[in-house]
Amino acid sequence: MAKRRAGWALTARLGAAMLGAAALVPGVAGAQGAGAEWTTPAGTLQGTRYSTLTDITPANVAGLVEEFSVPSGLHGSQEGQPVVAGTTMYVVTPFPNSLIAIDLANAGAVKWTFTPPVNEYARGVACCDTVNRGASYASGKVVFTLLDDGVVAVDAVTGAQVWRTSMGEPLTGMTMSGAPLIVGDKVIVGNSGGELGIRGWVAALDLATGHEVWRAYSTGPDTDVKIGPDFHAFYPKDQGANLGVTTWPANNMWQQGGGTVWSWLTYDPALKLLFHGTSNPGVWNPDLRPGDNKWATSVFARNPDTGAAVWAYQVTPHDNWDFDATNEYIAVDLPWAGKANRQLLVHFDKNGYAYTMDRKTGKVLLAKPFIAENWSLKVDLTTGAPLFQAQLECGIGANPISFTGADGKQRIAVYTGTGWIAGGMSGGSCPNGAWDNNHAGPPPGPTTTSTATSGAVHVFKLP
């Protein structure tokens, strides 16, 4: 057992208790666990978020006391996690994305703080707060993304910048908030901003120089998505040429098709495969983009050296609900169907389903809800497709307004939709005469006999 360093008892040991409790199978996932250091966002390349340290147990965790704290000086949301290399902890703050080095052998004293210049404009276009999801450490460098689309590598000892690479321009609506993953000599990163007409991508930079090695888009022709002769999707629904174009309207909406890669990445050293999910499609209004909208809300397996796609699976076709498929795809070897150790991929999706997949082929072995959900009936394991709940979408009324009509008489108007997502509604009737998903019977107040299956503006007057 590695010797514990007293200076990081709070963080490492609390993490051991919390993350170890979530281990998929004790003793099995432990083979893919972090030890005395935590150098990737999820502790391991496989994304297990599991620690092999054993000092803290369910029996003594209640006795933990705070050893020290280090203020960030900011009030923004914190969605990342520290990384630990040797006796130093590294924390990336929300905007303006400072990197704080904390001495774990000296009661949490701050060694240095690196604060790069970051374009203030990025704060105004970040969709969901100015968060940062943390850094990765390798080869003496701490690497993290900046909200203004930069990726920066910092010398882990001195705090000096080693390189900085710009990946885009926030004036287009694109930002970066995800944590990099370092695989060998490649730094893997993705972009954010699918709500703002951004085309999603994942890219690899050279760890030594920051030079961009490859970039693979989530939408568009196969050449842009890096789908080539080595690509083999398991299900027919995901097979065919240039699906990143043909599953979109003919007006080239795929160019603003979302599918960003803003969350955590994982890697399987055994199969040498990189796994990443993609976000919701753009635009949010689903009525404007008929079709499956590939490859948004999907998972890819890629060669990290070239970016070439090996397989892909679209988790939620024609996403209506912002069901990003970007949560971790955890690579684990577990007993399955009589096999001692099957190479699996475990994913808990925003659509409410927990997926267990064969990570070599992309075949879905199990898909069960882990929370209450009502958008679908089930995932068909034969086709890999969800069976949509046809009677989910029902009327939702927005705020009513009052105005004077051309005849000088007062009117009341309300804009109603037929689904949850703001702005874009998809059709369907309510079960049992309900007027929305939470109320039975007809709506209160004036009613309309309209049979429209899309959103509509309803104007009412006195008889």
Q: Is 280 a catalytic residue?
A: yes
Strand order in the sheet with 329-336: 329-336, 339-348, 353-358, 364-369
| Residue whose tokens read 């993490």 | 15
* Band (30; pLDDT cuts 50, 70, 90): very low
Query: Which one from 238, 268, 322, 349 is the annotated catalytic residue?
Result: 322
Cα dist from 396 to 342, 393, 422, 436, whole Å:
45, 9, 10, 6
Question: What domains can you pick out in the chain, each with its CATH number?
Answer: 6-62 (no CATH), 77-179 (2.40.10.480), 390-463 (no CATH)
- pLDDT number for residue 445: 42
The residues near 439 (Cβ < 8 Å, ≥ 6 apart) are none
Q: Which of 4-13, 105-114, 447-456 has the lowest mean pLDDT?
A: 4-13
Distance CA 300, CA 381 (A): 18
Say if residue 134's pLDDT is above 60. Answer: yes
* Mean pLDDT, residues 348-364: 97
Calculate the alpha carbon distances from 441 to 193, 274, 390, 416, 449 in Å: 39, 50, 19, 17, 14
Type of residue found at 362: G
Bridge partners (DSSP) listed for residue 145: 151
Confidence of residue 425 (pLDDT cuts 50, 70, 90): very low
Nearest in space to 255 (alpha carbons), one of 231, 224, 226? 224
Helix, strand, or coil here: 309?
strand
Residue 333 pLDDT > 50: yes
pLDDT digits (tens, 9 = 90+) for 188-231: 999 999 888 899 999 999 999 999 999 999 999 999 999 999 99
Residue of 280, 293, 320, 351 with catalytic role:
280
Who wins on pLDDT, 147 or 429? Answer: 147
H helices present in 201-316, as ranges: 222-225, 243-246
pLDDT at 11 over 90: no
Which DSSP string corresponds to 352-409?
Answer: SEEEEEETTT--EEEEEESS---SEEEE-TTT--EEE-TT----EE---EEEE-TTS-
Q: What is the pLDDT of residue 23?
A: 38
* Span 366-423, pLDDT tens digits: 999 999 887 888 999 999 999 987 544 444 455 666 676 678 777 776 655 544 333 3
pLDDT higher than 90, residue 441: no
Report the C-alpha gap between 285 and 368 in whole angstroms: 27
Distance CA 335, CA 24 (A): 11
320 catalytic per annotation: no
Closest CA to 252 of 219, 215, 224, 299: 219
Active site residue 399: no
Q: For residues 434, 440, 446 and 448, what is the CA-based torsion angle, rounded to 10 degrees?
A: 20
Element (H, E) at 291: none
Question: How far apart, in whole angstroms, are the C-alpha atoms of residue 402 and residue 68?
Answer: 57
Q: What are the E-state strand segments in 61-149?
A: 83-85, 88-92, 99-103, 109-114, 136-138, 141-145
Nearest to 421 by CA among 295, 279, 280, 296: 280
- Annotated active-site residue in 148, 149, 195, 349: 195
